[in-house]
A and B are shown apart, each in its own frame.
Chain A
Amino acid sequence: MNGFLTHLLITLKLNMRNKVALAMGYLVPIFTLLTFAALYRTKPTLVREFGQILAICALGGACFGMPVALVSERERGVWRRYRLMPLSPLWLIASTMVARYLIVLSSGILPFFIAVYGYGMPLPENPLILFLGFSFATFAFLGLGLIIAALANTTAAVQGMGQVIFLPMIGIGGIGVSLKMLPAWAQYVATFLPGRYAIEAMNAGMRVLKEDKDGLQTQRLIFNFAALAVLGLASTLIGAKMFRWEGTQRLPKSAKWYVLAGIILWGCVGAAAISWKMARIYGLK
């Protein structure tokens, strides 16, 4: 536990000392906020978009921030040196993920204050749901980041793989473009990606929707959290199982089975969402 906390603190310190990481981590969310504020002039101001802004913060930290940090340390041989210590990699993975969660959380705070005090965004109606939605979403995304870090041999490869996940999530995953603006096929695709559930979970915190007689809104919220938890857990387990101390280390033979299991789980989440009841909940055509 002592090692976990020390590694967590040092990871946070190192992030604060890295100018590129600071710029990417803290300026990008602010630019995203400014862009959304300029593009979407809906009322109440930014309420519908703030979940998207937070999701972009979390996704950027997960697809690029964490795997770049992990892989660059692995390239330098830092993890090879860690391997000589009497510890399980799970502790280091856990402390790395918690550190990144805190970094991502802190990167969402500044845009929040700018949105509230600069643009007059109303305060979230249910801050707890917003916080939990953000936390579950970040967990789901960080699991993906862990898989990227396991697969990529170099930081350049991380950039490529990160884009492969980042861009579709932004484009058709409901994060960059509102789901309502997407064609039906894209809405179906989005049910297989965590972005959709992340946005809906956070939006539920920003603006509490009125419950209908069937209790669909509550079911929808529960499903969103459950989907994020399942996707996050699956990705984290796969990423942890495929973890490599050194770039030259081969992926374990069992890696393909873990990936297959993960894909099946993702498929199950999407299939559940498309099933008749969830299709009603999600308003899919």
Chain B
Amino acid sequence: MASKVVVTDLVKTYGSMQAVRGVSFEISDGEIFGLLGPNGAGKTSTLECVVGLRDPDGGRVEICGVDAIRQPKEVRQRIGAVLQHTALQDQITPREALQLFSSFYRRTAKIETLLERFQLNDKADVYFNTLSGGQRQRLAIALAVLNEPEFLLLDEPTAGLDPQSRRDLHSIIQQMRTEGRAVLLTTHYIEEAEQLCDRIAIIDHGKIITCGTPRELISRAQAMPRIVLHTAQPLDAGKLGRLCGVQGVEQASEGCVISTSKVSDSVIDLIKYLESDRNELLDLHIKKPSLEDVFIELTGRKLRD
């Protein structure tokens, strides 16, 4: 599949600090590419260089076959973006905002269609400061797609939204994929990245440290599956440690956590042990390694650190 976006050896320096150190990635048509990283990892700087808000100190950014650094205006005709720290005037209405923004593009979607698609018909003529967080974010996405962009950048699009609004936005973002747009997404929500992204790059200290599909990344995790259980009576950690496949036992707030290399064998042995000990099993969960485990292994930090 042809790459819609090609970023090669991107470098951005602020004074003596190198925020982006040779970042490279490609995004294809109809692909959602996630950029995950802790705060200060360099993802916003990367995104701002790609979108043209900052001039990179090195590297190339090619969007839709156009050099984004040399021809930023041409590129901006073809891309859409939802950025953090942007807003509209308090007393502008969604309809006016769409009219204003569409007046700067060569090709635009119909305003009524956008209002309907993003469920803003009822709010088309009310002031921006009366919109809810979810409605504001839907408007931000409507503004980003009004020029029918081939490439869309979404910087933390669901941050601070309630679960329902977040779900609504997820379906909108997934729709972008079916429409064949290339999407670059940054998010703090690891489950969101796992759910939405076709490929994910984990970035830390200005460098991409790994990249792949969520499944590929998880398969590279060194963390083992875990059995989390609650019982009526306390458990003997020593006996649990001798069960088949068990590599470690710890007491956590969520219950007793058993790390195992052989889930089925460990569960069978566990049930037998509980029966023999006449200890009632109250609750049992099996947790596979997650993207978060991969993230912590690679960066040594949680995503929100």
**Residues on A facing B (Cβ under 8 Å):** 2-3, 5-7, 10, 13-14, 17-18, 73, 76-78, 80-81, 83-87
Contacts and interface: CB of A to CB of B under 8 A. Distances in A.
B104 A85 contact: yes
Q: Which 6 A-B pairs have the closest CB atoms?
A: A6-B103, A86-B76, A77-B86, A81-B86, A17-B91, A3-B103
B105 A84 contact: no
Contacts of A78: 86-89
B53 interface: yes
A77 B91 contact: no
Interface stretch (B92-100, B175-183, B187-195, B243-251): B92-100
Interface of B: 51-53, 73-74, 76-77, 79, 81, 83, 85-89, 91-92, 96, 99-101, 103-105, 127, 143
B217 to A, nearest CB: 30
Contacts of A77: 83, 85-87
A77 B101 CA distance: 15
A80 B53 contact: yes
Contacts of B79: 84
Given A2-B103, A10-B100, A18-B91, A83 B85 contact: no
Given A2-B103, A3-B104, A10-B96, A84 B76 contact: yes
Nearest to A91: B104
B239 to A, nearest CB: 59
B53 A84 contact: yes
B89 A76 contact: yes
26 contacts: A2-B103, A3-B103, A5-B103, A6-B99, A6-B100, A6-B103, A10-B92, A10-B96, A10-B100, A14-B92, A76-B88, A77-B86, A78-B86, A78-B87, A80-B85, A80-B86, A81-B83, A81-B88, A83-B53, A84-B83, A85-B76, A85-B101, A85-B104, A86-B73, A86-B105, A87-B104
B94 to A, nearest CB: 13
A7 B73 CA distance: 19
Nearest to B51: A84
Nearest to B127: A17
A86 B74 contact: yes
